Chain A
Amino acid sequence: MKLRFSHILLLGLGLGLAVLLVMLFTGQKTWFSTNTPIEIQPNLDLQFKAIPQSPNTFFADGKSLREPVEGSLARGTTTYPLGPGDIDAAETANVEPSDLPKNSEFVLARGQNRFNTFCSPCHYFDGVSENSAISKKGWAGIPNLTRSETAALSNARIFHIISAGQNLMPSYADKIDPIDRWAIIRYLRTLQKVEGVASNPIAAAAAKN
């Protein structure tokens, strides 16, 4: 049979279809691209409005998220007024909220959750700091939180260290809410096996693990 133009065209279309089918069935694994997805029909997918953390041409600084007006706070947030050096002021200023239940597994679990999230990169899951990610990467001298010196610190002082930072440790006031900082302290006390905690059966069980 003589090869005609239409045959080549059909062959091409068939091949294209085959490639398409292969791509369809393996698409989730192979269709990696650095290009933004194509929008045939925009469908109001992209609207001119302020989306958190996206660029915005309306404001001079190009940011959608606005900085709070000087001297103001975003609703529901707090600020920690003391600097890293104000140790004496911290002792009286930081008072554990009375509505944080005592002997509560819920609070301890929350403390562990926040401790593992924010403290463990440096202080490890046990507070000894030895095998933490950052120690392994060569940051020497991360303090062991279970030492008797640290265990002897008051709750207010530890709250102060979390909130304002100390030495090379930055402030975590913007990341951890005050109530969660108190929960972390509760949990830390179980790691330190501080006296008085052991009498609490829940905390004792947590400390044993």
Chain B
Amino acid sequence: MFSRKFDKGVKTGGAILSAVAAVLFLVGYFGFRNSFADVGYRPEQPVPFSHKLHAGELKIHCQYCHAGVEKSAHSPVPTTQTCMNCHTVIKAESPKLQLVRDSYESGKPIEWIRIHKVPDYVHFNHSRHIRAQIDCKSCHGPIEEMGVVSQFKPLSMGWCLDCHRAPEKNIVGARPISGVFTNAMHKIEDLKKGAYLFTPIPAQVGTSTPITNPQFGGYHSEVPAVKVAGIPHPKKAGIGPENCSACHY
């Protein structure tokens, strides 16, 4: 009915069109997933701050600068005052720190660029996770090895749920370097050995056992023996909640 040429044209055109559609689908489906598009995001910060130097080599605990993370929903980016606790004397003339000194004098905050971000319709509470003795590394990766911080985990909903369902497979237990309170005394000799600071405390990674109603999740209630008002009590990590309103507004 149709000419041979037309028939061939239809076939070739169809093949090309489906190839284009397949590539577009693959790019759209995989290429813009968080695990692909967001992981590795490492913006250039206004001040070339190195976590590798401060946390990795100098072994300053995460919470020295990100203080308050165990009590508030967000993990605070340190104030300029925090930088100047040391940098009034150390490298006081360094041109790399000019912006910090300017900010300290003017009171205008340094405009750090945010890397880790969940969508605005999600509420993530740092304090709840820190108090379950989950180390920063679980979600932020080995920050102490990063000269320039890049996003290490996808921070997607599926990734959150993977961990809420099987925490013992995904959580990095609290490490001394992060400053997460675990209700455990450390030997000073161990702390002096730098390597110990980066080793998770195995006993703190609880196995997940379903609680009475897994839908609502929660902590194990076995840990706090003593209660002192104002001290955030560490608890063992249990299965996380899976109901929508646990994370979504």
Contacts and interface: CB of A to CB of B under 8 A. Distances in A.
B58 to A, nearest CB: 4
Interface string B133-167: 00000000000000000100000000000000000
B165 to A, nearest CB: 21
B114 interface: yes
Interface residues of B, number: 72
Given A106-B225, A121-B58, A168-B89, A10 B186 contact: no
B33 to A, nearest CB: 9
A105 B183 CA distance: 8
A183 B231 contact: yes
Nearest to A110: B231
A53 B74 contact: yes
Q: Which of B38, B84, B91, B230 has the most CB of A within 10 A?
A: B230
B43 A36 contact: yes
B218 interface: no
Interface stretch (B59-67, B205-213, B237-245): B59-67
A1 to B, nearest CB: 14
B229 A99 contact: yes
A139 interface: yes
B191 A116 contact: yes
Interface stretch (A12-20, A154-162, A192-200): A12-20
Q: Which of B28, B59, B228 has the most CB of A within 10 A?
A: B228
B90 A139 contact: yes
Q: Which of B20, B28, B59 has the most CB of A within 10 A?
A: B59
Contact of B90 (A46, A108, A117, A134): A134
B39 A31 contact: yes
A138 interface: yes
Nearest to A52: B74
A180 interface: yes
A53 B77 contact: yes
Contacts of A63: 109
B234 to A, nearest CB: 9
17 contacts: A37-B37, A52-B76, A53-B77, A99-B228, A100-B228, A101-B228, A106-B226, A106-B228, A107-B228, A109-B184, A110-B181, A110-B183, A125-B191, A131-B192, A170-B85, A179-B231, A209-B189
Interface of A: 6, 9-10, 13, 16-17, 20, 23-24, 27-38, 40, 43-47, 49, 51-55, 63, 99-101, 104-110, 112-113, 116-118, 120-121, 125-126, 131, 133-134, 136-139, 168, 170, 174-180, 183, 206, 209
